[in-house]
Structure 1
Amino acid sequence: MADNTEFNRLYWHSRRGMLELDVLLIPFLEEVYRDLPRADQLNYEKLLACEDADIWQWFMQRGQPDDPELQSIVNMIVKRVQPD
């Protein structure tokens, strides 16, 4: 029950004010998040605490977060939609 409650909390925090972010974050949460190591799950949660404008810039590769852990999760999400 607690796991489902936490997942639901993350789901609602993944819903942003921008549709462009929603279409990246929500599928990542639903399809990848549960299989990530705990450290990467925490990085995803840290990403959700960032401003939408910053996240969007990072996803569009117009900037990078200063935090290497945030950069790692951003890279995972971007690579998922833009495979090599």
Structure 2
Amino acid sequence: MDKEYLKNKIEGLRQHFVESTVHERATGFYDEVHMTKKMLKIKKKLVALEMERCQKKIEHKDVTKTDQKIAEIKQQFEICCKDR
């Protein structure tokens, strides 16, 4: 696959799932307006880790550590949501 194609694909997915809040507004719970600063920080960290994971997969590198970090961050996000 072409690197430019992958960059465009990742950017499109980021806009659709991360920066777009259409679905989140429908549920109302994950709307960025209603998120705490901590939740937004965790969400941005998750995006960075997912991008790192994708890059490692493209380069055929081991992604187990990144997967563990993602699982930990997701758990933190869930705890933060429950506390809200």
Smaller-chain TM-score bracket: 0.3 to 0.5
Larger Rg: 2
Report the TM-score, using the length of structure 1 for normalisation.
0.38
